């Protein structure tokens, strides 16, 4: 599908700009909660409860209390949280090569991610995200994709209209929501797809 050139490229974060958690990352988190949950139960509950963490409803400690089914000392929760942050902090070098080319070609770059506020705070410190401005994280605005409202907040921060933006995300429902607002959109499956935007 041909995608027209737009002034802005708006990127998702997870599994687009960063890679999926490695087996060792997942194991580190599993081991940190092994006294309380099996790996299978951990990942079911991790994702089941995540939307309320992403939208800012739950704090770090409330989220993990619900995942684990019990309260733990703050220091123990902080250790689990560090493993959670770490596994989502590895850049996708293939995508970032195209990001560098996009900057050279004159595109403006922005980021829109479903991520809890503590993750947004941590990711804002990553040097490799410095080309992206604005960076909108769901936990900071109390909204999550695919709600139209979070795209509208992002457009306001960008001072852009939908037709000036190409949105890049790996989830079909988020792509469909962006298109419904009038954005161009690319369903991300590999960094090689970004070549189409730059040629």
Stronger pLDDT, 60 or 2, i.e. the higher one: 60
Whole-angstrom distance, CA of residue 112 vs CA of residue 198:
21
The pTM assigned to this predicted structure is 0.95
**How many domains does the chain contain in total?**
2
| pLDDT range class, residue 4, cuts 50, 70, 90 | confident
Domain region containing 77: 23-87
Q: Are residues 141 and 188 in the same domain?
A: yes
The residue-averaged pLDDT of 8-31 equals 98
> Which residues pair with residue 109 across a beta bridge?
9
Q: Are residues 104 and 172 in the same domain?
A: yes
Q: Are residues 81 and 151 in the same domain?
A: no
The residue-averaged pLDDT of 141-163 equals 98
- Is pLDDT at 1 greater than 60 in this prediction? no
Helix/strand/coil (H, E, C) string of 48-116? HHHHHHHCCCCCHHHHHHHHHCCCCCHHHHHHHHHHHHHHCCCECHHHHHHHHHHHHCCCEEEEEECCC
Q: Are residues 95 and 120 in the same domain?
A: yes
Segment 167-190, tens digit of pLDDT: 999 999 999 999 999 999 999 999
Phi and psi based region of residue 15 (left: phi greater than 0; alpha: psi -120 to 50; beta: remaining): left
Q: Which two tokens stand for residue 1?
A: 């599908």
Whole-angstrom distance, CA of residue 121 vs CA of residue 130:
13
The verdict on residue 191 lying in a domain is: yes
The residue-averaged pLDDT of 150-156 equals 99
Segment 99-135, tens digit of pLDDT: 999 999 999 999 999 999 999 999 999 999 999 999 9
Per DSSP, the residues of 136-172 read: EEHHHHT--TT-HHHHHHHHHHHT--GGGEEEEES-H
Q: Are residues 39 and 131 in the same domain?
A: no
Q: Are residues 95 and 192 in the same domain?
A: yes
pLDDT for the residue 159: 98
| pLDDT range class, residue 78, cuts 50, 70, 90 | very high
User: What average pLDDT is seen over the chain?
Assistant: 96
Question: Domain ends where: 71, 87, 103?
Answer: 87
Q: Are residues 120 and 143 in the same domain?
A: yes
pLDDT for the residue 2: 61
The verdict on residue 1 lying in a domain is: no
């Amino acid at each position: 599908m041909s995608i027209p050139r737009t002034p802005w490229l708006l990127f998702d974060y997870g599994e687009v700009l960063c890679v999926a958690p490695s087996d060792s990352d997942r194991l580190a988190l599993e081991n940190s909660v092994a006294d309380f949950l099996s790996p299978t139960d951990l990942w079911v509950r991790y994702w089941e409860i995540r939307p309320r963490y992403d939208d800012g409803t739950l704090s770090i400690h409330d989220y993990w209390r619900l995942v684990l089914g019990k309260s733990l000392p703050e220091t123990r929760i902080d250790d689990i949280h560090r493993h959670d942050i770490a596994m989502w902090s590895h850049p996708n070098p293939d995508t970032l090569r195209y990001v560098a080319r996009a900057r050279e070609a004159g595109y403006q770059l922005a980021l829109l991610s479903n991520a809890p506020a503590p993750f947004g705070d941590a990711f804002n410190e990553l040097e490799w995200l410095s080309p992206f401005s604005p960076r909108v994280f769901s936990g900071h605005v109390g909204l999550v994709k695919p709600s139209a409202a979070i795209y509208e907040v992002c457009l306001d921060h960008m001072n852009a209209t939908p037709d000036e933006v190409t949105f890049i995300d790996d989830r079909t429902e988020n792509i469909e929501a962006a298109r419904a607002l009038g954005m161009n959109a690319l369903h991300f499956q590999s960094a090689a797809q970004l070549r189409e935007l730059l040629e």
